[in-house]
Amino acid sequence: MSIRFGYGTNGFANHRLTDALAVIADLGYDGVALTLDHDHLDPFAPDLARRTDELAATLDRLGLSVVVETGARYLLDPWHKHAPTLLHDDPAKRLEFLRRAIRIGADLDAEAVSFWSGITPAGVTDPWERLVRGCAELVGFAADAGVTLGFEPEPGMLVDDIAAWRRLHADLGAPPGFGITLDIGHCRCLEPLPVPECVLAVADHLVNVQIDDMRRGVHEHLEFGTGEIDFPPVLRALAESGYRGLVAVELPRHSHAAPTVAAHSIEFLRKAERAGEAT
């Protein structure tokens, strides 16, 4: 099967980025899902080009592949989580952030740059039009940079499921560089299909995978084995789908015990992978 597992730096928020990467590599992960944030390659801090070059060298030395994630909570606004988004009256700061993320992705040779829609702000009557307009601008920018975009359906946001992603993809004209970021936990949370069928349903567009445990109807990222997902069939579906990108652990609220959680996670996933191969 040989799935390439990664770990998200948003689960190492209390570590220096270089230390987090070293731990992730030492544990045997193949890559990292890098959430751009204040202490993890802040895209608005000085000397971005130099810092990005240094990070590229570190990733190369450690043998880690990378995807770029853009879900930092308070990077753009210290008072309001995730604000502004593409749905706000003035999305300029979000657009600039995502353009910088795309440039960083190009400089790091990232497998994908991932983003999402956001929650519709109060009083906004045309959120879908705003989203399509913003995404269209980013699709063109990413194409010029040679970067693949992965758009993530996120529970509670305007684009919350696979069906909404399909609508957005179609409204953008089905651009080839606009794929889907699939969070395995989200599939259990709200998709109508069983999780392995979700994987196979989007196999042709899958460019980034996040993995975590979850319960039906509850958007809470859980450690493996504490939710409701049967992982061997999910990992088998990923292997059979032809997906060869990173499958990165997404546990953003577990930084207090990051090394231990990351160690348990890779052990669990490798065991589940072997079980999937045996069935």
Q: Domains plus CATH for the chain? A: 5-170 (3.20.20.150)
**């061997």: which residue's tokens?**
232
pLDDT band at 278 (very low <50, low <70, confident <90, very high): confident
Give me the pLDDT at residue 178, please. 98
pLDDT above 70 as % of the chain: 100
Number of other CB atoms surrounding residue 176 within 10 Å = 9
133 conformational bin, left if phi > 0, alpha if psi -120 to 50, beta if neither: alpha
Residue-wise pLDDT tens digits, 111-125 = 999 999 999 999 999
Q: Which residues contact 243 (CB under 8 A, 6 or more apart)?
A: 199, 203, 206, 209
Q: How many CB atoms lie within 10 A of CB 160?
A: 21
- Cα distance between residue 277 and residue 279, in whole Å: 6
Q: Is the pLDDT of residue 1 over 70?
A: no
**pTM of the complete model beyond 0.85:** yes
Distance CA(100)–CA(73), nearest Å, equals 17
**Average of per-residue pLDDT values in the chain:** 97
Judge contact between 102 and 147, C-beta under 8 A.
yes
| H helix runs in 83-174, sequence order | 92-107, 127-145, 162-171
Tell me the C-alpha to C-alpha distance, in Å, between residue 124 and each of 72, 90, 127, 129, 221.
23, 12, 6, 11, 29
